[in-house]
């Protein structure tokens, strides 16, 4: 197969949403880089007072469980875009897409074990394989499958934890795991690596995998639906349908994501809050961004974010490297030492650096370094890297 022209059929709006999603992912992930409470429990107690509590609530409402579903939808869009292009070229479509998912899974396994346990790429790779079963489903079928899966997993989890709701706060905190993480992540590079592997094993138990598949697959399917509807190509042509989805998504967000805060934000309802409320907000973000970034008044913002999104894989992995260097003992050793609002500010600062880097980089190179490796392995052919004339 000939090297593919990286400018062919690239939808700038998708790269813009990718760029936006990377900011939200960074804000949430810094909580994990900064302390063990995101994985081992006790997060609200750790940031329990005053402005810290408000900052954590802001992250919980507007970012937590909303940006990884948004990125999941983008993967669904990407898979269906790739399917369409390969079918038009008469290529071995399914073989190429399966190889792409396998390579992504390998990237994720390496990233998760040796850099940061909170990797999402392995999950996306595996869910990507499953999503191929739905490529030829109708738009209505994709929506039904997506909603059914989300509602089912949410209802099951709420029913499972409700009987033990009074003991949930205590049994959800792993004090031994918290202490081990503090000891090892503030130590040497080797101790941090060993702890990361232990955290990866802890956070990848069978229950977590089942939960991840049943919550991420629906967002892949919604992404396929959005691409199949043509909403990414011309949002204006489908404005009435998009507006209905925006209203519905915002309503669910208010009811399930904000609503629990009026009743003490109970821990037993967290799965529904994240699965339904968080996913609804991700749909609102996606469709709202498509509409907003295609308006002339916001083209400047599109220009800023699209370059970051074009290097989404590289920037995502870069965020992990920056995170461990800033917080772990072999780096700046800020583990557990910052306030929640400081983490939000730090995320904005780091993302600003990524914007500057991305704009500098795309002027000189066709792909990010990891995008280039990913693409070359997918098509089994070395892709052009440096832009002609540079």
Tell me the torsion sign for CA atoms 51, 53, 57, 59. Answer: positive
pLDDT tens per residue, range 106-126:
999 999 999 999 999 999 999
For the chain, domain boundaries: 12-379
Look up residue 144 and give its two tokens.
């039904």
What is the predicted pLDDT for the residue at 389?
64
Q: Say whether 101 sits in a helix, a strand or coil.
A: helix
- From the number of C-beta atoms within 10 Å of its C-beta (0-12, 13-18, 19+), residue 282 rates as buried
pLDDT tens per residue, range 365-390:
999 999 999 999 999 999 999 987 65
Look up residue 332 and give its two tokens.
């700046």
pLDDT beneath 50, residues of the chain: 1-10
What is the distance between the alpha carbons of residues 266 and 323, in angstroms, rounded to a whole number?
Answer: 30
What is the distance between the alpha carbons of residues 332 and 356, in angstroms, rounded to a whole number?
Answer: 23
**Closest to 21 in 3D by CA, of 204, 289, 375:** 289
Q: How far is CA 334 from CA 35, 51, 176, 193, 209, in A?
A: 9, 20, 21, 17, 31
pLDDT tens per residue, range 148-199:
999 999 999 999 999 988 888 778 899 999 999 999 999 999 999 999 999 9
What is the predicted pLDDT for the residue at 2?
44
The residues that bridge with 365 in the sheet, in sequence order, are 386
What is the predicted pLDDT for the residue at 293?
87
What is the predicted pLDDT for the residue at 49?
81
What is the distance between the alpha carbons of residues 165 and 267, in angstroms, rounded to a whole number?
Answer: 7
Kindly report the pTM of this predicted structure.
Answer: 0.94
What is the distance between the alpha carbons of residues 24 and 231, in angstroms, rounded to a whole number?
Answer: 23
What is the distance between the alpha carbons of residues 158 and 332, in angstroms, rounded to a whole number?
Answer: 40
């Amino acid at each position: 197969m000939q090297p593919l022209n990286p400018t062919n059929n690239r939808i700038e709006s998708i790269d813009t949403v990718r760029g936006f999603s990377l900011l939200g992912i960074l804000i949430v992930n810094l909580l994990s880089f900064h302390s063990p409470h995101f994985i081992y429990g006790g997060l609200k107690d750790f940031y329990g007072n005053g402005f810290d509590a408000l900052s954590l609530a802001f992250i919980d409402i507007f970012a937590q469980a909303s940006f990884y579903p948004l990125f999941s939808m983008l993967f669904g869009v990407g898979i269906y875009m790739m399917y369409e292009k390969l079918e038009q070229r008469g290529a071995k479509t399914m073989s190429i897409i399966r190889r792409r998912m396998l390579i992504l899974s390998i990237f994720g396994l390496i990233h998760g074990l040796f850099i940061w346990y909170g990797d999402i790429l392995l999950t996306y790779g595996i869910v990507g394989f499953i999503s191929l079963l739905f490529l030829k489903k109708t738009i209505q079928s994709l929506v039904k499958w997506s909603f059914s899966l989300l509602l089912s997993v949410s209802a099951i989890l709420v029913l499972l934890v409700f009987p033990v709701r009074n003991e949930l706060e205590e049994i959800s905190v792993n004090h031994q795991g918290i202490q081990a993480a503090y000891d090892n992540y503030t130590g040497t590079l080797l101790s941090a690596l060993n702890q990361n592997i232990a955290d990866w094993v802890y956070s990848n138990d069978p229950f977590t995998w089942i939960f991840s598949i049943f919550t991420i697959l629906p967002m892949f399917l919604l992404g396929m639906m959005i691409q199949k509807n043509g909403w990414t190509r011309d949002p204006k042509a489908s404005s009435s349908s998009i507006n209905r989805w925006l209203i519905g998504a915002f309503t669910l967000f208010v009811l399930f994501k904000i609503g629990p805060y009026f009743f003490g934000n109970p821990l037993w309802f967290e799965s529904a809050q994240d699965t339904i409320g968080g996913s609804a907000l991700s749909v609102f973000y996606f469709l709202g961004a498509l509409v907003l970034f295609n308006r002339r008044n916001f083209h400047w913002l599109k220009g800023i974010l699209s370059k970051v999104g074009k290097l989404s894989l590289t920037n995502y992995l870069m965020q992990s490297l920056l995170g461990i260097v800033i917080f772990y003992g072999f780096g700046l050793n800020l583990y557990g030492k910052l306030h929640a609002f400081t983490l939000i500010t730090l995320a904005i600062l780091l993302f600003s650096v990524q914007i500057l880097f991305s704009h500098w980089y795309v002027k000189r190179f066709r792909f990010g370094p990891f995008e280039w490796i990913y693409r070359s392995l997918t098509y089994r052919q070395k892709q052009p890297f440096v832009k002609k004339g540079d």
